Amino acid sequence: MTDEHTILIKPFDGLSLAELHACLKLRGEVFVVDQQICSVPDVDELDPACHHAMLVHGGKLIGTARLLPIDGGAVIKVGRVAIAKDYRSQGFGSRLMAGLHEWIAQVPGRTGLMNAQAHLEEWYHTMGWRREGEVFTEAGIPHLKMLYGSEKRA
């Protein structure tokens, strides 16, 4: 794996049509095709309120996530984290998350929150996320609430 990658984080209205299409296409490939999640729509009313992260490698979008500011932006809810199938287990997910962590930390005291797929708990834990609460089902998949950043609770 080369180090030639870029992480861009833009508000919804700052995305070009091509960037928006690429993010939504990748999310569809990961969540609808690979994971066969059909019980909840991937594209929803929250997308316009979010910033969208894009991990570009070799000129191609290979990772994305959406970042929803809540509590006036003091908390960022991370969701729709997706890495293209051919790029998984190569460290790209960790690179995307590192970029999200840097972005979250740009505002002192800001924290991260996510509903993570439960089987990824240890991976997120290695990057500083901590579990809060019990496993629950979301879109037919076991999830758990995880927090990142200061010890304040979201």
Domains within the chain, CATH numbers bracketed:
5-148 (3.40.630.30)
- 77-119: pLDDT as tens digits: 999 999 999 999 999 999 999 999 999 999 999 999 999 999 9
Which residues are CB-neighbours of 123 under 8 A, at least 6 positions away? Answer: 93
- 54-69: pLDDT as tens digits: 999 999 999 999 999 9
Strand pairing class (141-148; 130-138)? antiparallel
- Measure the N-to-C terminal CA separation of the chain; round to a whole number of Å: 36
Higher-confidence position of 73 and 152: 73
Helix H or strand E encompassing 18: helix 17-27
**Using an 8 Å Cβ cutoff, are 123 and 82 in contact?**
no
What's the rounded Cα separation, in Å, for the pair 111 and 152? 8
Beta carbons within 10 angstroms of residue 47's beta carbon: 18
- 124-147: pLDDT as tens digits: 999 999 999 999 998 888 999 999
Q: What is the pTM of this model?
A: 0.85
- 15-58: pLDDT as tens digits: 999 999 989 888 888 887 777 676 566 777 889 999 999 999 99
Which two tokens mark 63?
Answer: 């990772």
What's the rounded Cα separation, in Å, for the pair 74 and 110? 5
Token match 């594209």: residue? 43
CA 52 to chain centre: 8
Longest dimension (CA), the chain: 40
**Using an 8 Å Cβ cutoff, are 85 and 31 in contact?**
no
Residue-level pLDDT at 101? 95
Residue-level pLDDT at 152? 47
Residue-level pLDDT at 12? 93
Residue-level pLDDT at 38? 67
Closest by alpha carbon to 111, among 88, 130, 124? Answer: 130
What is the residue-averaged pLDDT of the chain?
89
